Structure formats: C-alpha cells, structure tokens
C-alpha cells in the first residue's frame, strides 16, 4: 500500500492551485486526473484581479497569464442592436494592487501556466488515473487508483476532490449537492470574426436573447449566448448558426471563419451543504457550480484551494489540531453561497425566458444602463464584487481586530498593496511581494509622525515569542521616519490605506493574503495572547 499526506483528485485550476500551495509548504501529496492529457476545450475565461494577485504569490504564474491573456479594461453594452455605452474599469482608482484589470484567457492556458509552475517546484500531474472505492476512518483515507488494468491502493491522511461538477470524491461522502439546472441551452464558439467588434473590451448584446463576445489573442474571439427555444438548430452549433446569431443580436453583416471549438450546453446552480466530510474535502466545481455571470466560478475554486492549502499544511505539520480545518467550511462556504445567489440573480436578469420580462427589460435598458454606469460609486461596488477584491472573512473565528481599533482594514479583510522604497530611497517592491505564501507575515508601520522606537519595541516583543522569526517581520517607515532594515512609505500611501497615519501599527497577513490581525502597535501583546 502506498502512502501520502494529501491526494488531490482533479488537475483543473483548483487542483493545480492546491498542488502549488502544498508544494511551497513542503507537504507530500499526489495529484491525479482521469484525462490522459489536459483538455484544450474549456469554458472559463475570466481571471479576476484578486485571483491574479493571489497567484502572484508564486514566481511565474500571474506573469505568464498576463503575457498569454488579454487585459479587459471595460465592457460594451448593446441593446436592440444599438450601442449604449463603452464602460471602463481603469478609472475606478484600483491602485492598491498590481492587477487592476481582469484578464481574458482560455482556461487551458491558465492550467498550462499552473502546471509549469508545479513542475518548477518539482511536482507533476499523474494522468489517466481514476479514483475508486474511497473510504475513510478517524485517522486516514484509502482509495483505489486505477490506470488501465493496473490498480494501486493508496492511503492518504486527506483527500481533496477538485474533480468538478460530477465529482467522484463528493459522491463518496454524505455531502448533498442541491440546486437545479437552468432551462436555457447555450451555444459557444471560438472563432475568428470579421465585423465591428472591440478587440479589448467584452461586448454584451441584449435583444430577444443574450450574446457576449470575448476578445482573445491572435484574432480569436469567444461567442457565448442563448439559443432560442424556437431555434431550428440542435446539438453543437454550426458556423452558419453563429453567423445568424451574431447578425440577429448585433445587426449588420459579419464574417465567421476558422472555427476552433463549437459546442452547446446547459448551466446548473448547485452547492454542497458542507465543504468537509471528515478527512474528505471538496473545492471548486465539486463544491459549487453556477452560471457564468460575472466570471466567478474558476476564480472561486482557485481561492478555495488557497484557503485550504495553508490550513491543511499547518495541521499536517502538527502546528494546529485537525479541527482547524473546520475553518475552511467556516470561511469559504458563505462565499460560495453568496456567489450562487448573486450569479443566479444576474443570470436571470439577462437570460430570462419570460417574454414579457424580456420586452420590458429591453425597453428600460437604454435608460437604466447609462444611468447606472454614470454613477462611479455604483460602478465601483459592482467591480469590487466582480473582481473579488471585496471578499472578506469578517465573521471568521480565526481573524481578529485589536480592541477599539477602527482602521480601514480589519481582521479577515484583503491586505491592500502598494509600492515601497528601499532604504536608499529607491523604488523597492510592492508590499505584498514581501509577504510569505508559507507562513504569517507581520507588518509593522511606524506612523507618519513617529520614530523607529515604537516599531523596535513591537518587534522585540514579537521575536521574543518563539513562534515568530525575524524573516517574517516587514517594517514600513512612513514620511521622514528614520529606521533600519525596512522599507519606506515616503508619501504615506500605505499608512493611509491601513489607517496608521497618526501612530505606529501592526498588521499580520496570513499565507493566503488575508489579514489575521490588525491594530495599533501597542496591541502587540493582545495579538500574542491569541
């Protein structure tokens, strides 16, 4: 019988991300996939800002995706063959990140970037293998791995199902997967297109049904839209159907050539009741599937994996009890549930089959869309949701905010980023590049009017606690504060973002980029007592 600490079933974006997280933590694992080779056909396209930011914790992934994808600076909205707006995202002031815009990139290219990083770490995907007869007891799991006629019994401390909507891992448990399938049939085409489309922005067309055009690289576009319930076409679409579809929604005459992929499908909206059953976990589409509204699905799965990876590593190293893994359900299940509800509402708003609703929507859209888009605050709220930059674990039992602290960043929130200068006053690094993807990082801010002494005292108390090491402390000196061994926030941008203009501060960032503790520097003893 073979053994390992973690078996990951499924080598899509979620499983590959979990493999990266375990790799940097030096946790023994195996990752298998039933496919003999990666699929070159994938529906997911959008890589949101927060996902890029988190994948940038690994050396090459985000950079390769930026090189292979197309940044999306905004969206065009059309209704009844009339252009309503060309909306932009790059005026929203998202300057607290290196990744202010989404990327449009085929899922296959995302998986390729993740796989290359995994191989750089010394890992590999074992392909053409299925998991059968999954069992668990109080201490471990067993599973039979099948490759052709060869069977191998594997004992693992944990199994994580990243194997999609029809997850064999989930089906081996008592977890429920409740929800329903949407009645609409959708068609998808990766093609080359001759016509007046925006080569940078996504273009949405509303009419009797909905169509979206995504610009990709090398002149290829993706067309996704609803097939009419009265359509004469069935099965996978033809080039002729796609041409008729575009001309119906956009008007004019279009040329459709070089089809790469033509398919049809229906979407579901379903979620598990729990992300954990004993020593078996589910993540990504194995835990939640929903409409593509807002481009959230793959991104949510990747963040499931990042949340679980560091926690599972801490338990396997003996730093935390097994019950610590319950916080995966505690933190990620509410995110998944909100996602199901919000994407369901968005989907029904644009893809309803109710003829009366569609007629009223199309009459009101030319008035409503410019009004909503013209309000920057509304646009910012929408983009904060879509970009996933607003995700917070505010009710988590393992995040904390110092007593009485009312700063702009609290425990459970995303850690904002920003540029820093080195000790010589030259451009150094972005703050989040200084945080660790292996362990908690302690950031000490001097305040804009303070001196090095408060930072020094806080650092001494932290290092006296043997749980923390000097390499895990990042010192940020504001304004004209003189300090050694740290970085400079000369104009105080980061001090303002974290709420420490007037005094020294302490922020602890988890390996997954979320704040574990935030408060003034004098709250260091409160932090150490947790």
Report the relative pairing of strands 400-401 and 46-47 from DSSP bridges.
unpaired
Q: How far is it, in rounded angstroms, from Cα 228 to Cα 76? A: 23
Q: How far is it, in rounded angstroms, from Cα 91 to Cα 437? A: 30
Q: How far is it, in rounded angstroms, from Cα 48 to Cα 104? A: 9
SS (H, E, C) 180-216: EECCCEEEEEEEEEECCCCCCCEEEEECCCEEEEEEC
DSSP code of residue 323: G
Model confidence pLDDT, tens digit, residues 310-333 = 999 999 999 999 999 999 999 999
Fold of 2-69+105-178+269-351: FAD/NAD(P)-binding domain (3.50.50)
Residue stretches of the chain with pLDDT short of 50? none
Please, are residues 311 and 438 in contact by the beta-carbon 8 Å criterion? Answer: no
**Architecture (CATH level 2) of domain 400-528:** 3-Layer(aba) Sandwich (3.40)
Number of continuous H segments (helices) and E segments (strands) in the chain = 13, 29
440, burial (CB in 10 Å: exposed 0-12, middle 13-18, buried 19+) = middle
Fold of 70-103+185-265+352-383: Alpha-Beta Plaits (3.30.70)
Within 13 Å and on the Cβ side, how many CA atoms surround 184? 19
DSSP code of residue 414: B
What Cα–Cα distance (Å) separates residue 164 from each residue in 154, 271, 278, 286?
21, 12, 20, 4
Predicted confidence at residue 378, as pLDDT, reads 87
Residue from 85, 97, 114 nearest 48 by CA = 97
Phi-psi region of 513 (alpha: psi -120 to 50; beta: other; left: phi over 0): left
The model carries a pTM of 0.95
C-alpha torsion angle, residues 111, 268, 393, 65 (rounded to 10): 20
Predicted confidence at residue 239, as pLDDT, reads 97
SS (H, E, C) 54-108: HHCCCCCHHHHHHHHCEECCEEEEEECCEEEEEEECCCCCCCCCCCCCCEECCHH
Q: How far is it, in rounded angstroms, from Cα 455 to Cα 486? A: 10
Residue from 177, 167, 150, 145 nearest 7 by CA = 145
Mention every residue, 6+ apart, whose C-beta is less than 8 A from residue 176: 272, 273
Predicted confidence at residue 482, as pLDDT, reads 67
Mention every residue, 6+ apart, whose C-beta is less than 8 A from residue 149: none
Residues across the chain = 530
Please, are residues 388 and 51 in contact by the beta-carbon 8 Å criterion? Answer: yes
The domain locations on the chain are: 2-69+105-178+269-351, 70-103+185-265+352-383, 400-528
138, burial (CB in 10 Å: exposed 0-12, middle 13-18, buried 19+) = exposed
Helix, coil or strand: residue 118: helix
Predicted confidence at residue 289, as pLDDT, reads 94
| Other CB atoms within 10 Å distance of the CB of residue 434 | 17
Please, are residues 8 and 32 in contact by the beta-carbon 8 Å criterion? Answer: yes
Model confidence pLDDT, tens digit, residues 215-268 = 998 999 999 999 988 889 999 999 999 999 999 999 999 999 999 999 999 989
Structure tokens at 5: 């600490």
Predicted confidence at residue 485, as pLDDT, reads 81
Q: How far is it, in rounded angstroms, from Cα 235 to Cα 263? A: 8
């Amino acid at each position: 019988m073979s053994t390992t600490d973690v078996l990951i079933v499924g080598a899509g974006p979620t499983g590959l991300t979990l493999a990266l997280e375990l790799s940097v933590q030096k946790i023994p694992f195996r990752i298998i996939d039933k496919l003999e080779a990666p699929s070159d056909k994938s529906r997911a396209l959008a890589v949101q800002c927060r996902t890029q930011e988190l994948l940038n914790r690994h050396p090459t992934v985000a950079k390769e995706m930026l090189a292979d994808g197309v940044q999306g600076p905004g969206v065009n909205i059309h209704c009844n063959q009339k252009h309503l707006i060309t909306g932009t995202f790059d005026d929203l002031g998202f300057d607290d990140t290196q990744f202010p815009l989404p990327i449009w990139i085929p899922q296959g290219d995302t998986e390729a970037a993740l796989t290359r990083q995994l191989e750089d770490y010394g890992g590999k995907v074992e392909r053409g293998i299925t998991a059968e007869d999954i069992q668990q007891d109080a201490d471990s799991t067993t599973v039979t791995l099948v490759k052709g006629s060869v069977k191998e019994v594997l004992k693992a401390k944990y199994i994580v199902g990243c194997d999609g909507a029809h997850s064999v891992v989930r089906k081996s448990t008592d977890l429920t997967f409740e929800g329903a399938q949407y009645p609409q049939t959708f068609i998808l085409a990766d093609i080359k297109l001759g016509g007046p489309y925006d080569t940078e922005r996504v273009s949405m067309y509303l009419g009797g049904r909905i169509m979206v055009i995504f610009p990709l690289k090398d002149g290829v576009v993706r067309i996704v839209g609803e097939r009419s319930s009265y359509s004469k076409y069935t099965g996978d679409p033809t080039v002729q159907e796609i041409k008729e579809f575009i001309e119906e929604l956009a008007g004019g005459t279009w040329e459709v050539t070089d089809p790469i992929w033509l398919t049809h499908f229906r979407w579901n909206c379903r979620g598990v009741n729990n992300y954990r059953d004993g020593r078996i976990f589910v993540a990504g589409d194995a835990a939640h599937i929903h409409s593509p509204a807002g481009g959230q699905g793959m991104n949510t799965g990747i963040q499931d994996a990042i949340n679980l990876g560091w926690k599972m590593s801490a338990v396997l190293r003996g730093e935390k009890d097994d019950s610590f893994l319950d916080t995966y359900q505690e933190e990620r299940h509410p995110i998944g549930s909100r996602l199901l509800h919000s994407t369901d509402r968005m989907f029904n708003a644009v893809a309803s089959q109710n003829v009366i609703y569609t007629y009223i929507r199309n009459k009101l859209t030319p008035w409503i869309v410019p009004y909503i888009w013209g309000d920057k605050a509304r646009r910012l709220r929408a983009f904060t949701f879509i970009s996933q930059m607003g995700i917070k674990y505010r009710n988590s039992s393992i995040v904390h905010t110092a007593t009485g602290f009312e700063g702009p960043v609290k425990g459970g929130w995303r850690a904002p980023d920003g540029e820093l200068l080195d000790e010589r006053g030259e451009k150094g690094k972005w703050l989040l590049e200084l945080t660790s993807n292996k362990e908690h990082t302690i950031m000490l801010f001097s305040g804009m009017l303070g001196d090095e002494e408060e930072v020094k005292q806080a650092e001494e108390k932290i290092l006296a606690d043997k749980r923390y090491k000097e390499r895990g402390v990042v010192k940020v000196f504001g304004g004209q504060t003189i300090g050694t061994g740290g970085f400079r926030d000369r104009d105080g941008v980061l001090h303002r973002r974290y709420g420490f203009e007037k005094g020294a501060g302490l922020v602890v960032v988890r390996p997954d980029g979320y704040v574990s503790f935030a408060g003034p520097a004098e709250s260091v003893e409160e932090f150490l007592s947790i």
